Amino acid sequence: MSTRRVDHRTLSGLFNAKGFYTLGFSFIFGMSLWVTFFAGIIAFKALPRHQFGTLQQRTFPIYFNLNIIISSGLLLAWIRNHSLVIAHARDPTAPDVVQAYALAVVTVSQALNSFWIGPSTKKVMMARHKLEKAEGKNAHDTDVSAHMRALNVKFSRWHGLSSLANLIAFLALAFHGLWIGNYGITA
């Protein structure tokens, strides 16, 4: 008597919420890893400063907004699949709640970058470019005006804040990825 194993996996079974959640998470994590640790460094080394700034000001809004959209979708899906998250939202020791917090941190960090930090950084960067033309000097020359030095400090602060918010979002994604890798997506 032979025992035959029946395989119930089908192609149509691939198209479900769990599969889309995994794809969404994979996309956002991979994008965040690439942008945070590789693309910016490569572009900074390969492009003149003004071209690098133009590239960043065009790509970052797309990057931040994709992060917001996907992390919001993941958060909503997480809450939908983990019914106790809402009931225990104030309990930071509940594992499913912590994962919801991690996804919320991604959404909030990138929303801050998209709607406040990024535009503020761009505004200072554009003021520096304008002053560079007016003074006929590079912003990083040693003999720039006091106004340019002040803009440089302001730009460094905004850029540092943006980098920090992005790093926090990446770490929250890594934390969530480790969780779902070990414990899965569904309750």
Q: What is the per-residue pLDDT for 97?
A: 96
Q: In a structure prediction context, what are the per-residue pLDDT tens digits for the chain, which is 187 residues long?
A: 556 776 667 777 777 889 899 999 999 999 999 999 999 999 999 999 999 999 999 999 999 999 999 999 999 999 999 989 999 999 988 999 999 999 999 999 999 999 999 999 999 999 999 999 999 999 989 999 999 999 999 999 999 999 999 999 999 999 999 999 999 988 6
> 61-100 as b/e, with b when 16 or more CB fall inside 10 Å?
bebbebbbebbbbbbebbbeebeebeebeeeeebebbebb
The residue ranges of DSSP E strands in the chain, in sequence order, are: none
DSSP 8-state secondary structure symbol assigned to residue 184: -
* The model's pTM: 0.89
Quickly tell me which residue has 């919001």 as its tokens: 72
Domain ranges of the chain: 16-183
Q: What is the per-residue pLDDT for 3?
A: 66
DSSP 8-state secondary structure symbol assigned to residue 11: G
Is the separation of the CB atoms in 112 and 165 below 8 Å?
yes
